[in-house]
Structure 1
């Protein structure tokens, strides 16, 4: 499904940077027969001289010998190209840095962004249309994943990794407390109650209010769409009844003290995961590698299962997270940059190489290679990990549209929901207030919003 055409705003507030494009993605994923696709062969500048590519990334760490091996392979294939990696922060920080660098006229050649952050830089004109540069590798990525970086038929990036949603849990402690691995969210609530009753110091999971993407995915799984667009007008559904029912679900668990109100990846969270006090994380297939990074001594005790369902028998989910490599509009070596992004994300060799970096590849060859790959280091005993996630990808059929002002939603939502969780006040009120803030911002920015 191609992202909807976004009507331009009639006016903008000075100094406001809005992601004024919809990221509507058809997420029907199937492991179809892999077609071989090779990246463009351009490896030298237009004058035939050597090229140095400056790459902003966060999961290709220059200090990681595995990343060095991948880059060394590219250097072997393209001896006139030198790739220099610079580690940057997450999407919000990287997007801000890129926009500032674009204004200053001093950008890198390649930049990594999460999919939700792509519309902001596309609308600002800070990244290049690379449709023609990467046309030769399009067959190496499924259309629904390729659509993550495609707007009005123009390609602005090459998908690198994807996030099929799973529940990663402490199998040994679920067994110890007699808790069944939940297949529905109702069963999840029962397991939370059973675990906490057996040991009041132990929780099925933490409740992290700042995870906007997770709560948007929850709402989508329950049948809501936080943003939608028909090509002319926006509709906001953060306070739709389907969305509010998910808010009620989490409020019930918080009020009954069945989940621990604790942000992710804090020292406290890390300590509780290590000590067996937090037993699961509902996220995506990248979660095991994150857990391993903070609790390596717990390896061998975890497993992953498909995400619990809101409607029994309906396994449909959206993707959660993932990123792409884009070429800044002011890159000094745009064609060579596009060739590198295409090789890493879509070529057979580059896509497969990402598995060595604990990344879930978006390219067909890499995804096929997962089926015979060793499981993540967190669960070496779960030999069917990638078979489980393969089935999840096949069930990843819920399209998601990211609106033009995700940043406004994030600001209105996270702190308010955390306060509501701590003070036991209404989650519904937070969702409704976020709805009002998002709608008001769209209208003030000149968009038409339907009721």
Structure 2
């Protein structure tokens, strides 16, 4: 067997084992976890933690780690600053092949299915059983597959719309309660000043389009445990494509990526008046437009159906334990403390995160509003109400990266050239299905 054939055979075995873990429920999934630790009884343990939220040079992060080490003598947590989810995912796959993995990694929720399917992540359902009460079930769902837990939630992204309240008042526009209202607001603002837009249309915001489609009732990936379905071109998804096509074709949104120097300048100048994202958006806007502080407010996401406040989460990340961690049990204990315990989740607030843990969430209610809207004293109350209404689960597929690239590139071209958004969604759907089939998955 040549090297390529041997690698392909190994990939099929790994993928098959991982799919078996995802597919056949609690009994089989429990058998996929290593369940062991190389730490000697009573011996010292060093946990290597790949993260981008806890930076070794950040005094707040160091204080969190010191707190855990003080409470757990003999345990040392070593912070290794790894880039975002894409870089971490790539590195953990390579580390797994080399048999030299860290003990805890931070990745965004959308990457969990691909890592589970690759067989590199430990099922920690039993390890975190005592911590389950520290996190709401709709938040545990972000790091779970088929009822099995593969990560401890760190932070969450309740979906919100952040907008220039002063300029909405200037243009006589009410904050939109529905997506129909949103379209009307875009039209009314742009008619009064063609240089001003309600928002930008950034074609590369794949996770937002997926979440908004889910809000409307679509499921871009789904699995019954043995096979996958892909619904990027289902009727509901295509209706959301039509919605954005209409706004772009009528020049009611500025077609450009987020957070470029040009976008930042327009936000500062009052030429782009809102960003529909999540509760983390105000801190991002403040970082690029601090002089506009006091002019913004945040409200719940516009609704597709009036009166239906159900939404999914947008963004956020979890702590995962690699299958080949040398100290898996100790690593799971640390992850549970940091993300799910009262103490740990409250400490995450010092990192400017919206904690997934209930105690951390509750603590936000007594926090000052974000610096971008110091006058909106009910910001955290509104955000917490949105969390309670976040009842729409999103199942990410094993090849989110393929879908992200396929949709973003083609949708940006379509927006600039006036081509069909529906065609982009349909083509992306085929690309994702074909990629799953090529990788050896069963696709309905």
TM-score, with structure 2 as normaliser: 0.88
1:80 to partner: Cα distance: 2.8
Per the TM alignment, residue 149 of structure 1 is displaced from its structure 2 partner at its CA by 2.2
Which segment drifts farther, 230-239 or 92-101? 230-239
- Matching residue within 263, 281, 286 for 1:287: 281
Residue 152 of structure 1: how far off its partner (Å): 4.2
Alpha carbon RMSD of aligned pairs, Å? 2.5
Partner of 1:410: 404
Q: 1:220 aligns with which of 195, 200, 214?
A: 214
Question: Residue 108 of structure 2 aligns with which residue?
Answer: 114
1:79-118 alignment to 2 at 5 Å? 79-118=73-112
Does 1:166 pair with 2:176? no
The DSSP-based 3-state class of the residue aligned with 2:77 is strand
Distance in 2 of aligned mates of 1:75 and 1:295: 38
User: What residue number does 1:334 align with?
Assistant: 328
8 Å Cα contact 2:368-2:374 kept in structure 1:
yes
Query: How far is the alpha carbon of 1:67 from its aligned partner?
Result: 2.2
Is structure 2 residue 433 aligned with structure 1 residue 439? Answer: yes
* Gap runs ≥5 in structure 1: 1-10, 25-43
Work out whether 1:176 is the aligned partner of 2:131: no
Pick one of 238, 253, 256 that aligns with 2:232: 238
Q: How does 1:299-448 map to 2 (within 5 A)?
A: 299-448=293-442
Gaps of 5+ in 2: 1-6, 24-37
TM-score (norm 1): 0.87
Deviations 1:214-248 (A, max 9, x none): 11111111121112233444332211121111111
Task: Give distance in 2, aligned partners of 1:288 and 1:18.
Answer: 40
Structure 1 segments of 4 or more deviating over 4 A? Answer: 11-24
Deviation at residue 432 of structure 1 after TM alignment: 0.8
Higher relative contact order (CA 8 A, sep 6+): 1
Q: Which deviates the most, 112-121 or 98-107?
A: 98-107
- Note the alpha carbon deviations across 1:230-278, whole angstroms, 9 max, x for none: 3444332211121111111111111121111111222222222223222
Does structure 2 conserve the Cα–Cα contact (< 8 Å) formed by 1:23 and 1:400? Answer: no
The 3 A distance-change label for structure 1 pair 349 and 221 is: same
Task: Decide whether the 8 Å contact of 2:114 with 2:397 is kept in 1.
Answer: no
Is the 8 Å Cα contact of residues 204 and 258 (structure 1) preserved in structure 2? yes
Shift in CA distance, 96/162, structure 1 to aligned 2, threshold 3 Å: same
